[in-house]
Amino acid sequence: MKTSSRLSTNKAISQMVISATLLAIALILDFVVNYIPFLNWPSGGSISLAMLPLFLVGFICGPVWGFGISIIFGALSMLIGGAYTYNWCSILLDYILGYGIIGVCGFFTKYFYQKKTSLLISGMIIAALLRFLCSFLSGCIVVWDINPNGSIDPNFSSAAMSYSAVYNLGYIFPSLVICIVVFALLAKPLYILAKSQLFRNIAPQLVIDNSDEKIKDPYAIFDSSFISLAIVLLVISILSCIPNLSYEAAGHEQVINFVAFGIISIIFSPCLLGYSIFRTVKSYTSEVEIPALSNIFHSSKGYYLTFSIIFLLTLALAILSMVLNFANIVPGFSLED
């Protein structure tokens, strides 16, 4: 009896820790996007990775936690990020149901522990389609033809449905593609992480891997994501050095400032640089396993030294963009001829 109670407690604690961590990551990703103007749509919606942590909550912790955390995220995103809402129907369809429906990924939990990536991606597509349906209905019921007094005036004409479909697909589809790509890159380290006791406390009993296989190098879980992190940070750092763009919209001059990319890079680059230097030094004192691209890098020294140089370059580019921007040296150019 005590053993059963202890297992239940461990499972609940593991679910809370993982869910809270992923919720925090989703909120951070959602918050950061608010400072990147061209990723935000004028009447709500944005291209971001915020859905990925919500997908993972469902995959790892099951439907109850998946629906719960997704609904909480929708509510917090509405309150913290500034909501584009007109009435209770807009709040329900765009935020509560719109994000809450992502919890459907919880019905794919066993496939996560069985390492069936293709089925998990199918779950992500289904969740994104259901979110699109909620936003599509919101566009037809609330946004398209709203009365001055704020009452709901549903409009399912071909023009209204076309507008709502194109508008909402414009940010949901790119977000889904980005989430799928990043998930595919992180799938291997996530499956390795699933061998830890924290995840085994949650895993369905029928799919728990009871083999005696152990992780030789615990750092390999993080190191295997170096490639994707390096590519993302390098792209972000290069974008941060792009001159400001200005254009005319609704009779007002709008300016797109890419310094937000520099802020993101300058936060993460030093951490990753310090860690990669630590691993480089360790590789000289003791041989460590190369987590990926072993056919390209013949030794762990070359692997970690290469990424140390890449992260140093991303940090240098981020610092350069910040200095130029705050010194008002960054040039700008207009999209007008």
Fold for the domain defined by 2-205 = Arp2/3 complex 21 kDa subunit ARPC3 (1.10.1760)
- Determine the pLDDT at residue 123: 92
Helix/strand number for the chain, H first, E second:
13, 3
Q: How far apart are CA 266 and CA 134, in angstroms?
A: 37
Question: Which residues of the chain are under the pLDDT cut of 70?
Answer: 1-7, 35, 37-45, 81-86, 143-153, 205-229, 232, 242-264, 286-299, 325-337
Quote the pLDDT of residue 333.
Answer: 38
CA angle 264, 76, 103 (to 5 degrees): 95
Q: Decide if 220 contacts 193 (C-beta within 8 A).
A: no
Query: CA–CA separation, 47 vs 72, rounded Å?
Result: 20
List the end-to-end C-alpha distance of the chain, in Å, as a whole number. Answer: 77
pLDDT at 129: 93
Q: Express each pLDDT in 92-109 by its tens digit.
A: 888 889 899 999 999 999
SS3 for 14-50 is HHHHHHHHHHHHHHHHHHHHCCCHHHECCCCCECCCC
Q: What pLDDT is attached to residue 283?
A: 74
Q: For the segment 187-234, what is each residue's pLDDT rounded down to a tens digit?
A: 888 888 888 777 888 877 655 554 444 445 555 545 655 666 677 677
Give the model's pLDDT for residue 335: 37
In the chain, what are the domain boundaries?
2-205, 228-334
DSSP result, 189-223:
HHHHHTTSHHHHTTS-GGG---S----S-TTHHHH
For residue 301, what pLDDT is reported?
74
> 0.75 cut: is pTM over it?
no
